[in-house]
Structure 1
Amino acid sequence: MKKFILFITLFGYLFIQSFGKNPDKDIVILYTNDVHCAIDNDETTIGYPGLVSYRDEIVKKGKYVALVDAGDHVQGAAIGSISKGDYIIDIMNEVNYDAVVPGNHEFDYGMEQFLHFTETLDTGYISCNFRDLKTGKLVLKPYKIKEYGDVKVAFIGIATPESITKSVPGYFMDSNNKYIYDFDGDEEGVQFYALIQQAINDAKNEGADFIVGVGHLGESADITPAWSAQSVVANTSGIDVFIDGHSHQVQEGLKQKNLDGKEILITQSGSQFKYIGKVTISTKGKISTELIDRSKVSSANKNLQDFINAIKNKFENALKEVLNHVSFRLNINDENGSRIIRKQETNLSNLVSDAILNESKKYADNVDFSFVNGGNIRTFIDPGDITVGNIRDVLPFNNELCIIEVSGQTILDALELSSSKYPSDFGGFLHPSGLTYAINPDIETSVVTDEKNIFTSVSGDRRIHSVLVNGKAIDPKKKYTVTGDNYFLIQGGDGYVFNDATIIIKNFGLPSDVVGEYIKKLSEEEMNKYKEPQGRIVFSNVTIIDDNKLNKEGESGANSLIINTKLSIIIFMATLIFYCIM
């Protein structure tokens, strides 16, 4: 009998050690991702005050509660850009998070500012793959273990390797343009998965009973496949549930088999506090996921809302200045509310690119055209007064505008990269003023990038055609003067490379300031020109004949066959209308 009892005791001990313990009461993990400065509680947004109130209700029910953020919180609206993220960190400290992973936009104010965040955020950041290449060591702790009763839960932090191109590549380099920081994101993901697996194993060796992956990785088609949440789960073992961000998806519970064939839930709560994510580890060890919408959050924490209001009062009077009036929506979405600005033209992208081109001419003669990347334009403007705050919300980044001189061939290569993700979204999708172009979606992209998603070449047929600069066919050998955000024209953002560029002016203003000045000057008639997109980017397999353009053999003459006369007329008329109204 004694031997039997001893056997049962030993078996139980080994079972617990092998499979972990279950909590004595439910562990509820509330999470946020891609908040992007949506701080307030209002009719459609939960905000931090709603989150705190909902958390307090769960605590009152006698459950354990953890609070986690999966990145992209300091950027997205004026409160972030004005304070370079500091106000958001202050608010998050009041909320009292337990674990936070950096998103790519946490680096938007520069590496020095991000390292400042790591000191001022009370809970700190975690990431098992953000590395200082000078020392070879991780910059942050790879995970954090929290105890709930006698159960230990490890939160493994995973930052996206896309941070380098989806923030500013220069922020991860030294003065000699050599990378000194990296996210261990090899092209096939082998090293990436191995480092994550090592963090999982280390956490288990420290006694973790449950492993929660907290990543800023994404699940959608436009995410680098090897670095997606699905790929991480599929190529590792030991993660019990995966909290994600980055792709702004409303994902209550996507099932993905791990390396051992076990189905793991991946969950993500959209963006801008439309939902709170909820993961529950029950007393039986069962894991479930849920998304909490605004209707289920009945109150907002008054003390936190007062704290937020005190911060907003410091700068909101300046943001209320009225610049102009608009009678229609300046849009980034289609009629169904789906975001399209990262893959096609909108009236707001026309306005922003026109503003940048117009204002750049104060600083340099003969600027030929401008570009603005779709990812830089973050929200729409509703009909009514346009305020300084509206423009700050549309263009919250603090990267300055520049003017460069570059060859036509480099522009053609850049446009190939711009169109390479279509029909998926791409934050680097280029919106022009002074230039028009067509994309042939029937041709598969042949753009080649390196392991960091930086452009290297075009290996085959090109999607881009019918490129006109101020109504004339682009000359690959000619130098053009171009203005736009130094994020992609100089610093390599979104993977762009302008190797033959000569910098004329490195910084001449913030996009939000420049666009604000332009909007101030617009008459009602001039504003009304932006009611609809102006046909600067078209999708067609038809090339406009232009006798001045060189064909592939270098001979002068018509280099393309009109396949569809009606479509070519549409493209021509759209271009003509655009230049008449400019």
Structure 2
Amino acid sequence: MLVKTLKIKKNFLNSYNILISSFEKTPDEDIIILYTNDVHCGINESIGYAGLSYYRDKVVSKKTPYVALVDAGDHVQGGTIGSISKGKYIMDIMNAMNYDVVTPGNHEFDYGMEQFQYFAKNLSCSYISCNFRSSETGNLILEPYKILEFGEVKVAFVGISTPDSIAKSVPSAFMNKEGDFIFSFDGGNAGEKLRTSVQKAVNDARAEGADYVIAVGHLGEKGDITKEWSSPDIVKHTNGIDAFIDGHTHEVTPSLILQNKEGKFVPITQSGSKLNYIGQVTIGKDGQIKTELIGPDQVTFRDERIYKLIEKIELNYKEKLNEKIGEVRFDLNILDKDGNRLIRKNETNLTNLITDALLIESKNYGGADIALCNGGNIRASIRAGDITYGDILKVLPFTNGACIVEMPGQAILDALEMSVRKYPESNGGFLHTAGLTYTFNPNIPSSVELDDKNMFIAVSGERRVNNVLINGEPIDLEKRYKVIADSYILLERGDGFIFEGLTEINLNFALPNELFINYIKKLSIDDMEKYRKPQGRIIYNDMER
């Protein structure tokens, strides 16, 4: 690949493409930028890394000498290979793939800051981000952009990380021992800080001689995100970006065309998740920019070198993953019929099973009155048939420890209000329960107040949540209840939860997936029948769900 690094620090959709004219210097051959986003450990699902490597080396590289490979974040988490190795195996694969540019997503921080530092040090191309900085010094942690040279043309890639990284990863990773935030993603001032940081990086890259600027962001377009931190908002309030490679929301977007601050048309593109598609951005010899998605029907071969590397890694743990722990006659679901993540705004049979597992298994560690689990923690469905160890690690891949704490009823009530504040939009912080039922009214506007990091402050008006019952009795706001959940929401402010009056009782005594496995092992296939349908723990005031 004839690419020179100038700045660096330690199926059906394929035919739908958009041409955007650019008046920059034109290359002597097409520049093709292949990209991935939100792979989430999908190393050999759909196209897979071996398919991507083949497509780059045997298809695209025959068309042009100017090829780059880019990733827009969320690669080390989301599957067994990530949780078992805390992302190290993914680093090995990405280095073998020879990525040129990578922006960290929020889930790159899931294993803690020390592990992220390991990733940043060991990823051969390193990370870029124009808005990840020290709150104490104001200095950026990573280089804001990277310039690659394709013949006489220079292309800058500006990294942009979502400010939601703090609330949607492990907030404690960004704190010091005193609990103060010492890292920032420029999330304040209703999006103005982020826009300013992006514009500065773009301007600096242009000043350094970049002919084209491609944003590589982990922001998302819509859904469970903060609008002021979205890719459309950045495009509309900046200038100088020629195309935006996006991630975070798993959207299949060949090209979303928006006008920037100066009225220039800029394409935003995103390739879904788990390598279901390969994203492709082409800067043509005529200066036009085309964005498109490459489907699995176009990638019919694989790179044996990458395939054998993955196969070798998987052999290290495959036997254990295939171990049977239970069986079920029906699917245990996290998705609706259209493939949307139902668990981020509705109860399902799988969420009932998981929260019951936490509550019942807590008896071995002191016991609890209720169990809570956020929808974003549950990552896969379980199909009818045998349930294996590997299935459970796909469902609950995170390594935040299970904890038992005590808190007043008021803190629980506030957490439920925080949980439903976005409804009917999806919310990774939507709480599922055992030992607790409640009703909420979506017609009442949410009055939850948040700080500039999307952390809970207060409920200032009428509440959506009512008729909260704990083990069949109305909640007592002054009574203290024992709660089991993972450390992510209880102690680390995950999804913005802050529990006033919390007292620690038993911390990190097991992983939630271990408790889930232990519970399933105790259930016969007939016992599982009670989870055939959702049990009505969350009631929507006669509203259609």
TM-score exceeds 0.5: yes
Name the amino acid aligned to 1:318: K
Percentage of pairs with the same residue: 55
Deviation at residue 528 of structure 1 after TM alignment: 1.1
1:20: which partner in 2? Answer: 24
Contact 2:24 2:287 in 1 (8 A): no
1:65 is aligned to 67
Amino acid at match of 1:33: N
Q: Which residue of 1 aligns with 2:381?
A: 380
Aligned to 1:481: 482
Which residue of structure 2 lines up, in the alignment, with residue 522 of structure 1?
523
Q: Deviations over 1:208-228 (max 9, x none)?
A: 000000000001143111100
Q: 1:206 aligns with which of 205, 208, 212?
A: 208
Residue 303 (str. 1) matches residue 305 (str. 2): yes
In 2, Cα distance between equivalents of 1:504 and 1:187: 38
Contact residue 392 and residue 513 of structure 2 kept, 8 A: yes
- The alpha-carbon deviation at position 136 of structure 1 amounts to 2.2
Q: Map of 1:95-494 to 2, 5 A cutoff?
A: 95-365=97-367, 367-494=368-495
The structural deviation recorded for 1:541 is 6.2
**Structure 2 CA distance, aligned partners of 1:26 and 1:453?**
42
Amino acid at match of 1:452: K
Q: Which has the higher Rg, Structure 1 or Structure 2?
A: 1
Aligned-pair distance for 1:19?
5.0
3-state SS of 1:38 partner = coil
Give, in angstroms, the shift of residue 460 of structure 1.
0.8
Query: Could you give the per-residue CA deviations for residues 464-483 of structure 1, whole angstroms, max 9, x where no partner exists?
Result: 01111011111111111110
Of the three residues 31, 46, 49, the one matched with 2:35 is 31
Residue aligning to 1:580? none
Answer yes or no: is the 8 Å Cα contact 1:395–1:512 preserved in 2. yes
| Correspondence for 1:74 | 76
In 2, Cα distance between equivalents of 1:123 and 1:227? 26
Residue identity in the other structure for 1:30: L
2:105 and 2:248 in contact (8 A); partners too = yes
Shift of 1:327: 1.1
1:134 to partner: Cα distance:
3.1
Q: 1:7-59 CA distances to partner (integer Å, 9 max, x unpaired)?
A: xxxxxxxxxxx953111111111100000000015xxx111001011111110
**Structure 2: distance between partners of 1:304 and 1:312:** 12
Q: How do 1:475-554 and structure 2 match up within 5 A?
A: 475-540=476-541
**Whole-Å Cα distance in 1 between the matches of residues 342 and 476 of structure 2?**
30
Segment drifting more, 56-65 vs 313-322: 56-65
- Using the alignment, how far apart are the partners of 2:542 and 2:392 within structure 1? 36
- Asked if 2 retains the 8 angstrom alpha-carbon contact of 1:405 and 1:501, the reply is yes
Q: Would you identify which runs of 4 or more consecutive aligned residues in structure 1 move more than 4 Å?
A: none
Q: Distance in 2 between matches of 1:172 and 1:333?
A: 31
Give the TM-score, by structure 1 length: 0.88
CA distances 1:353-374 after superposition (whole Å, capped 9, x unpaired): 0000011111114x11100100
8 Å Cα contact 1:441-1:541 kept in structure 2: no
Rounded Cα–Cα distance in structure 1 between residues aligned with 2:276 and 2:348 = 24
**Residues 530-562 of structure 1, C-alpha deviations (whole Å, 9 max, x = no match):** 1111101111069xxxxxxxxxxxxxxxxxxxx
Q: CA offsets per residue over residues 409-449 of structure 1, 9 Å max, x none?
A: 11111000100011111111000000001110111111110
1:90 maps to which residue?
92
Amino acid at match of 2:72: A
C-alpha distance in structure 2 between counterparts of 1:80 and 1:516, whole Å = 19
**Displacement, 1:194?**
1.0
Query: 1:495-534: per-residue Cα shift (whole Å, max 9, x none)?
Result: 0001210011111110111100110010222111111111
Q: Distance in 2 between matches of 1:539 and 1:263?
A: 42
2: CA distance, partners of 1:131 / 1:62: 37
For the residue of structure 1 that corresponds to 2:344, the secondary structure is coil
For the residue of structure 2 that corresponds to 1:264, the secondary structure is strand
Tell me how far 1:279 sits from its aligned partner. Answer: 0.7
**Matched residue of 1:337: which SS?**
coil
- Do the aligned partners of 2:327 and 2:524 also contact (CA within 8 Å) in 1? no
Deviation sequence 1:309-335 (CA, Å, 0-9, x none): 000101111111100111111100123
Q: How far 1:256 sits from its partner (Å)?
A: 1.3
Alpha-carbon contact 2:29-2:65 (below 8 Å) kept: yes
Contact kept in structure 2, 1:187 and 1:226, CA below 8 Å? no
Separation of aligned partners in 1, 2:218 and 2:52: 20
Give the secondary-structure state (helix, strand or coil) at the position aligned to 2:526: helix
State the alpha-carbon separation in 2 of the partners of residues 120 and 528 from structure 1. Answer: 47
Amino acid at match of 1:70: A
Looking at structure 2, the residues matched to 415 and 187 of structure 1 have their Cα atoms a distance apart, in angstroms, of: 27
Contact 2:420 2:430 in 1 (8 A): yes
Contact 2:399 2:511 in 1 (8 A): yes
C-alpha distance in 2 between matches for 1:302 and 1:404? 50
Please state how far the C-alpha of 1:336 moved relative to its aligned partner: 3.1
Whole-angstrom distance in 2 between the partners of 1:337 and 1:199: 37
CA distance in 2, matches of 1:256, 1:328: 44
Checking the alignment, whether the CA contact within 8 Å between 1:437 and 1:537 is kept in structure 2 is yes
Contact 1:100–1:125, Cα closer than 8 Å, also in 2: yes
Conserved 8 A contact 1:467-1:474: yes
Count the aligned residue pairs.
522
Match of 2:5 in 1: none
Residue 439 of structure 1 contacts residue 541 of structure 1 at CA under 8 Å; is this kept in 2? no
DSSP-derived class of the 1:462 partner: coil
SS of aligned partner of 1:191: helix
> How many angstroms apart in 2 are the aligned matches of 1:200 and 1:136?
19
Tell me: higher relative CO, structure 1 or 2? Use CA pairs within 8 A at least 6 residues apart.
Answer: 2
Q: Deviation at 1:62?
A: 2.7
CA distance in 2, matches of 1:62, 1:412: 59
**How far apart in 2 are the matches of 1:336 and 1:68?**
29
Q: Is the 8 A contact 2:23 2:287 kept in 1?
A: no
State the Cα deviation string for residues 91-142 of structure 1 (Å, max 9, x = none): 0000010100000000000000001100100000000010022332111010
Q: CA deviation at 1:188?
A: 1.2
Which stretch of structure 1 is more off in the superposition, 82-91 or 222-231? Answer: 222-231
- CA-CA distance at 1:187 after TM superposition: 3.6
1:171-228, Cα deviation, whole Å (9 max, x unpaired):
1000000111111111411121111111001101111000000000001143111100
Distance 2:494 2:486 in 1: 9
C-alpha displacement at 1:63, in angstroms? 4.5
In 1, the alpha carbon distance for the partners of 2:137 and 2:340 equals 44
Please report the RMSD computed on the Cα atoms of aligned residues, expressed in angstroms: 1.3
Q: Which runs of 5+ in 2 are unaligned?
A: 1-21
CA distance in 1, matches of 2:346, 2:267: 33
**CA deviation string 1:57-76 (max 9, x = no partner):** 11012342110000000000
Is the CA contact (8 Å cut-off) linking 2:24 and 2:212 kept in structure 1? yes
Which runs of 5 or more residues in structure 1 are unaligned?
1-17, 543-566, 568-582
